[in-house]
Amino acid sequence: LFLVNSRRLAFGSPLLVEFLQLARASAAAPASAGYARATPTPAAMATPAVPGSPSPMHHEEQGMRLDAQAELASRVSRRSVVLTVAGTLGLAACAVLAAIAASGSDPTADEDAVRRLEASEASLLRTGCRAVQVGEPCHRHVSWAMEHGIREQPEDYPGLNTTSTFDDVQAVLHADPYAKCPLPCSQAQAKAAGASTQSALGGDTGADGTVTAHSGVRLGWQPTNRVVGQGHWCSVQEPRAGWRIRGCGRRPTGLKLKVLTYNLFWWNLFGRRHGNAGSAGHLISGHSEPVPYDIMGFQECESVAWVLGDAGLTAKFGGLTGPHALCIAYRKEAWELVGDGVSDVGEDRADQWYGTRAAMWARLRQRETNQTVMFVNHHGPLPVGTGGRCGGEATAYNILKLIAEEAYQTDTIILVGDFNAGPDASTVKSLNGHLFPVFTGNSFGGVDHVLSSCTKVIETRNLGDGGSDHDALEAVFQL
């Protein structure tokens, strides 16, 4: 039908004309003649004509017509075969060209992409910052915010406008746990410059801009030449075997420090069950008397305000809600926040991938004694017990490196969390070689832990689950 309606096509017209000629000739021939030649015999030609029977001349014309039909059919058949083969080869050539184009086989472009990714991952390991790549969740969030969000919902993007740069938007979304945005390096460099100035002044800058005195000496990272997690962004050097983080503060004060760690099972307890009538908050408040908690770390926490509200502690506690569903709360009347941050230290393995995993920290000063505590909260990579993509050693050493580079020698270090690693996993064994193991829970084979630089532990308690799938753990230290 296409050829009939497209006779002007260069390849279609001659073939169509010949085909129609053959069709007309075939229609005029007797049905029994087929393509066989019916050549009249001499006897037939000599036979007198009988009324109603075909003449010898009629037989000869019929034979010539059938010869023409056979020749035309042969020509059409040969041409059809040629066109079919040519068309098939043409389609095959198109498929090959399309495959080459889709493969992006430009080796220079591939090498450039690899170099950019390696530089990005090295920057992340060194400073906690990196440029995001096309296809990452952060890149999609930033792009959408720049194209739609800032214009359509400016109230959701404070400090940003239509002239804001990609880095500006990434820096704002860095605080959004759903965006999974690392800090852009332009912001990290500015932060580092501020930290250098602050260090020169001999103090930490608090949230209100005040400077708190300290010894000015960081713990300091002491690595060996052995590298773990090689080939990944999270590769890190192993610390020196004899390196230990120990200490309970700058001097004896008699101060007791009460801490809590609790995985809140957020998607279920607060998502599906809408807080379960405040069951987790009631567990916290029920153990806050007679001695209140000083610092609390929550995993799978998307709103520290909701948790504190259910516990009736909103007025007494300050809170930090960070990325990766990590939260920290501290008792404001006793503690002042003098610094905080977060850094990726690991990543889920591909078969249970939810993303990278972080350690969130807060540095706090006790108002009466000036004792300082660096409190670190971590939710470890999946699958349980594997250390994820980076491995248990790399995850542990990245946490220790973060502590060494951010904490001061007079700080008491408290590390808590759901490590997704039991007591025998390489993550926990690697940490225990450099920090003091204080307490381990029972959930999922013992994946919740408290570790510290302080060995003066007064009390530890397992408080039960309060509606979560993990138990809350409590520890009390003598500083």
In one letter, which amino acid is 434? H
- Alpha-carbon distance of 93 to 179, in angstroms, equals 44
Q: Using an 8 Å Cβ cutoff, are 32 and 38 in contact? A: no
At 351, list the tokens.
């078969």
- Determine the pLDDT at residue 76: 55
Strand stretches in 242-369, DSSP E: 256-263, 295-299, 317-321, 326-331, 335-347, 356-366
Contacts of 3 (CB under 8 A, 6+ apart): 9, 12, 15, 16
pLDDT tens by residue, 385-397: 999 999 999 999 9
- Determine the pLDDT at residue 46: 45
- Determine the pLDDT at residue 327: 97
In one letter, which amino acid is 145? A
Residues lower than pLDDT 70 in the chain: 1-82, 96, 98-128, 135, 177-178, 187-216
Distances (CA, A) of 108 to 97, 103, 111, 112, 141: 19, 13, 5, 6, 29
- Determine the pLDDT at residue 156: 76
- Determine the pLDDT at residue 66: 59
- Determine the pLDDT at residue 199: 39
Q: Using an 8 Å Cβ cutoff, are 416 and 460 in contact? A: no
- Alpha-carbon distance of 8 to 315, in angstroms, equals 86
Q: Name beta bridge partners: 339.
A: 363
- Determine the pLDDT at residue 8: 45
- Determine the pLDDT at residue 65: 60
The pTM of the whole model exceeds 0.85:
no
pLDDT tens by residue, 346-379: 999 999 999 999 999 999 999 999 999 999 999 9
